[in-house]
Amino acid sequence: MIAQVIVDIAAKQTDRIFEYHVPDELADIEIGSRVYVPFGPRKLQGFVVGLTDSSEYKGELKDLLLVVDEMPPLTKELVQLSDDLSKDIFSYRISILKAMLPSVMRANYHKILQPADEQAANLPIFQGDPLDLNQAMDPKLAGQVRKLLANKQAKVEYIIENRAKSKTENQYELLVDKDEYIKIYNTLRQNAVKQKQLLMDVIENFDQYPKRQKQLEQDAQVNGATLTNAVKRGWLKKNEVEVYRDPLKDESNFVAKKIELNLQQQDALSKISQSILQTENKTFLLEGITGSGKTEVYLHAIARTLDFGKTALMLVPEISLTPQMVSQVKARFGQEVAVLHSGLSEGERYDEWRKIRQGKTKVVVGARSAIFAPLTNIGLIIIDEEHESSYKQETEPRYHARDVAIWRSNFNHCPLVLGSATPSLASRARAQKNVYQLLTLTQRANKKQLPQVNLIDLKQVQFAGSQFDLSVGLVEAIRNRLEKREQVILMLNRRGFANFMLCRECGFVLKCPNCDLSLTMHKDSQSMQCHYCGYTTQIPYRCPNCQSSQIRFLGTGTQKVQEELLELIPNARILRMDVDTTRRKGSYKKILDSFANHEADILLGTQMIAKGLDFPNVTLVGVVNADTGLWVPDYNSSERTFELLTQVSGRAGRAEKTGEVLIQTYNPEHYAIKLAQTQDYEQFYRYEMRVRHMGNYPPYFYTVLISIASKNEQVAAKEAFKIRRQLQGNLNKDTIILGPTPSAISRLKNQYYYQILVKYKKEDNLNKLLHQIQDDAQGVKKYGLNIYIDKEPERIL
């Protein structure tokens, strides 16, 4: 047998299949297995992507060295997906294959070969210690390792966070039937108290076995010695079983609400259910205003899927949304649920992932990368808040989870549900053309009106304090709510204290030495920080340029607004939620739980508080500055502003009490802000489509962004012009090529960026051409040039 292997080096020369002969001991190898192979003078890891009986290759094939994991980490589906995706997104196949695994399973992690039992541990190869796998790859040793694995005398383990990972526990199994145990019991001496207790538990709770050691010790009131003795006498059999770290253990007390769907929800559900039962690979766009009960529709659809004997995969945007959503899913489906998101420790992630791979869960909830979950028998895929830009990965491999979801829905013949109050223009346009089926929920589930939204024109108002951040109107409204013991959500989409330091003598602005960005002052950590690369320095007291003490800190951030609020409303209890307060694992949940328990009056945060939160006692939502994203020079800045304002407005008045929203802005006439005030998505969609049409932007055109980066600005520019010429000669007349231009932030982490944007309607040759450009880039990489190709970029900055 011959194995086709993709090896673990991301480079053009190696991004293809290499063939190896499979030695007999490894005959149970499967597609999706991870292997060690000889590669030139090196030993590398790789993935088996195919198995054949014959090869075109004339020379003699080398032998595979080793199969790493007991169970192939990737399913056949995922292997095939990696192939199709690599053709579509300009990523090396190996990068995609690795992105499909939890981080602990990627190559650079330390792996050891652990003896399976004491007998094995005494073999010469171990000499009492586990073996470091990365150092065990000379052919002779590899042969031995292979045999050990084949005979189940050893297994491969990962070293995670300095402790051996998969946790195990002892479990005791019964060996004879109940009558036998009664007989044994009757033969015991009077003073064999502990043994009697143990056997009594066996007899009385015969059906509860096998039992875990802890449980058994507790139930029978015996200790380990009694159990060991019982094993020796042949009464019980001891097994080691894996225990999984359980990231959801805190959620298990959440009680599921019984809710009857309203007519609109029922209608949406019945259409989705029909697709589930008919195994149709159909995409639905569930457009429902905030609070219309989309979540309820998802949960019912998942239940139908499970009833139908299939599994369900559900994506939610990054973390901030997860606590409440995960609780709900967990409450309905209990132990069947696995979660995958970056808030978990690496060990927890690995455990969850393994549970899925071993087929022990039926529902997976997770953020972007969960779209690669090794779930099989999928009957439904859901993407909540489908418009979220976090579904697109901004680094290699640059995939969009929505596109991967469509692929998997085709592969599994199952429906895909995209849900949002403010669908992406691209998705809404597809629904318009009946590529997706549109389902709408137009009323709030609790029959409450959407909250009243009022704009506060910052050009015309009085400010409440000494700073120019909070208007009298907004502060009065906050005071008023606090008097009624109601709660307030305040959003300011900027963290830190002040955005920049300006010298009034010489005009100097303090910037990051690595990036073309000003440093942000952080009062709590007494530092100036670059929000891009993390560079940190002390807060200056004099101008670093002219030594003048006439320096000012301008702009605003969450820290400053918190300070101002405390000056204006001294008794207000404020929780701040931004990247700075949520770095530690579990801190999101802590802040949200505390706010839910009314231990604070005001939740002040960046856009991470805009979405998905459901607090019944929140009756006022304030937006400190609606304009932060409006003038970003990107084609979708209006869409993002509209979406953010609509989402955050939806946090108000979700229960009995009526809600109000106050939006502070310098641009009350801008259509994105005006239409967010009436929360009229459909009208925004029509207006914005016209704007996109006039500007030749998506969804009327497809886009590809080519970024060229180098430490040497001229080198980047020169290469960029070369690429432009290459494109120009080969593309259609109606295709638009913009640039090269320096990126809006022209220098990041000491690299200068130039970019070319290609806008096209139909280009049969483009994929090939771009692959060519990417391959050529491998050649110039040596000279410090990097080229990134991003299909349908979320940002063109």
Q: Which residues are annotated as a binding site for Zn(2+)?
A: 503, 506, 512, 515, 530, 533, 543, 546
Do the Cβ atoms of 518 and 510 come closer than 8 Å? yes
The smaller minimum CB distance to ligand ADP, of residues 261 and 306, is found at 261
Among 545, 726, 730, 741, binds Zn ion (CB under 5 A): 545
Distance separating alpha carbons of residues 89 and 388, to the nearest angstrom: 19
Of 425, 483, 439, nearest in space to 695 by CA:
425
Q: Interface with Zn ion includes 637 (CB under 5 A)?
A: no
**Total site size for ligand ADP, rule CB under 6 A:** 17
Residue 9 touches ligand ADP, criterion: CB under 6 A: no
Q: Is the CB of residue 157 less than 8 Å from the CB of residue 111?
A: yes
617 contributes a contact to ligand ADP by CB under 6 A: no
Find the shortest distance in angstroms from Cβ 370 to Zn ion. Answer: 30
Q: How far is the CB of 534 from Zn ion (least distance, A)?
A: 7
Binding partner of 506, given Zn ion, ligand ADP, none, CB within 5-8 angstroms per partner class? Zn ion
Structure tokens at 652: 């108000």
Among ligand ADP, Zn ion, none, partner that 259 touches (CB below 5 to 8 angstroms by kind): ligand ADP
Cα–Cα distance, 595 to 487 (Å, whole number): 9
The vertex-351 CA angle with 350 and 356, nearest 5°, equals 100
* Residue closer to Zn ion, measured from CB, 515 or 662: 515
548 binds Zn ion (CB under 5 A): yes
Which residues, 496 to 535, sit near Zn ion by CB under 5 A?
503, 505-506, 508, 512, 514-515, 530, 532-533, 535
DSSP code for 509 = B
CB of 366 vs ligand ADP, minimal distance in Å: 18
Q: What is the DSSP secondary structure assignment for residue 612, as one 8-state letter?
A: S
Instruction: In whole angstroms, give the CA distance from residue 461 to residue 150.
Output: 77
Nearer CB in complex with Zn ion: 532/687: 532
CA gap 317, 442 in Å, rounded: 23
Helices 294-307 and 263-277: crossing angle in degrees, nearest 10, is 30
Assess 614 for contact with ligand ADP (CB under 6 A): yes
Pairwise CA distance, residues 159 & 365, whole Å: 26
Q: Rounded distance, CA 543 to CA 539, Å?
A: 10
Cα gap 794→635, rounded to integer Å: 9
Span interacting with ligand ADP, options 86-94, 147-155, 286-294, 781-789, rule CB under 6 A: 286-294
Tokens standing for residue 656: 């009995």
| 779 CB burial (10 A radius; 0-12, 13-18, 19+) | exposed
481 interface partner picked from Zn ion, ligand ADP, none, CB below 5 to 8 A per type: none
Residue 95 or 424 having the CB closest to ligand ADP: 424
Using the minimum distance from each CB to Zn ion, give the nearer residue, 198 or 528: 528
288 binds ligand ADP (CB under 6 A): yes
Sheet of 111-115: strands edge to edge?
A: 131-132, 111-115, 154-160, 163-164
Answer positive or negative: Cα dihedral of 271, 276, 279, 282: positive
Smallest distance from ligand ADP to CB 259, Å: 5
Least separation, in Å, of the C-beta of 681 and ligand ADP?
A: 13
Among Zn ion, ligand ADP, none, the one that 545 touches (CB under a kind-dependent 5 to 8 A) is: Zn ion
Shortest distance in whole angstroms from residue 596 CB to ligand ADP:
13
Handedness of CA 110, 113, 117, 122 (dihedral sign): negative
Q: What is the rounded distance in angstroms from the CA atom of residue 249 to the CA atom of residue 330?
A: 10
Collect all residues with Cβ–Cβ distance below 8 Å to 245 and sequence separation of at least 6: 167, 345, 347, 348, 351
Question: Is the CB of 296 or the CB of 719 nearer to ligand ADP?
Answer: 296
Q: For the CB of residue 266, give the shortest distance to ligand ADP in the complex, in Å.
A: 9
Q: How far is the CB of 494 from Zn ion (least distance, A)?
A: 16
User: What is the separation, in whole angstroms, between the first and last Cα of the chain?
Assistant: 51
Compute the distance between CA of residue 385 and CA of residue 419 in angstroms, rounded to an integer. 6
Is the previous residue joined to 699 through a cis bond, with omega within 30 degrees of 0? yes
- With binding defined as CB under 5 A, does residue 546 bind Zn ion? yes
Query: Which of ligand ADP, Zn ion, none does residue 295 bind to, with CB < 5 to 8 Å depending on kind?
Result: ligand ADP
Give the annotated binding-site residues. Answer: 503, 506, 512, 515, 530, 533, 543, 546
Residue 386 is a binding residue for ligand ADP (CB under 6 A): no
Return the residues of window 423-452 that contact ligand ADP according to CB under 6 A: 445-446
Give 290 or 409: the residue with its C-beta nearer to ligand ADP: 290
Site string for ligand ADP, 42-81 (x = CB under 6 A): ----------------------------------------
Regarding 265 and contact with ligand ADP (CB under 6 A), the answer is yes
Of residues 291 through 310, those in contact with ligand ADP by CB under 6 A are 291-296
CB 588 within 8 A of CB 578: no
Near ligand ADP by CB under 6 A: residue from 290, 420, 628, 677: 290
Q: Going along 58-210, which residue ranges are E strands?
A: 66-67, 111-115, 131-132, 154-160, 163-164, 167-174
Interface region with Zn ion, contact rule CB under 5 A, candidates 343-351, 458-466, 521-529, 539-547: 539-547
Residues 6+ apart with CB under 8 A from 531: 495, 496, 517, 520
Q: Rank residues 53 and 260 by Cβ distance to ligand ADP and give the closer one.
A: 260
Distance CA 344, CA 647 (A): 26
Nearest to 643 by CA among 439, 425, 497, 471: 425
Which one, 293 or 415, has the nearer CB to ligand ADP? Answer: 293
Q: Which residue, 294 or 428, is less far from ligand ADP as judged by CB? A: 294
Q: Which stretch binds ligand ADP (CB under 6 A): 84-92, 290-298, 353-361, 686-694?
A: 290-298
- Report DSSP state, residue 106: S
Given 150, 261, 426, 737, the residue binding ligand ADP (CB under 6 A) = 261
Site string for Zn ion, 276-315 (x = CB under 5 A): ----------------------------------------
**Residue 103: half-sphere exposure toward Cβ, Cα within 13 Å:** 11
Among 103, 166, 221, 262, binds ligand ADP (CB under 6 A): 262
Quick check: 756 and 705 in contact, CB under 8 A?
Answer: yes
Minimum CB distance to ligand ADP smaller for 305 or for 646: 646
Minimum distance from residue 421 beta carbon to ligand ADP (Å) = 7
Using CB under 5 A, count the residues that bind Zn ion: 15
Where do contacts with Zn ion occur on this chain (CB under 5 A)?
Answer: 503, 505-506, 508, 512, 514-515, 530, 532-533, 535, 543, 545-546, 548
Where do contacts with ligand ADP occur on this chain (CB under 6 A)?
Answer: 257, 259-262, 265, 288, 290-296, 445-446, 614
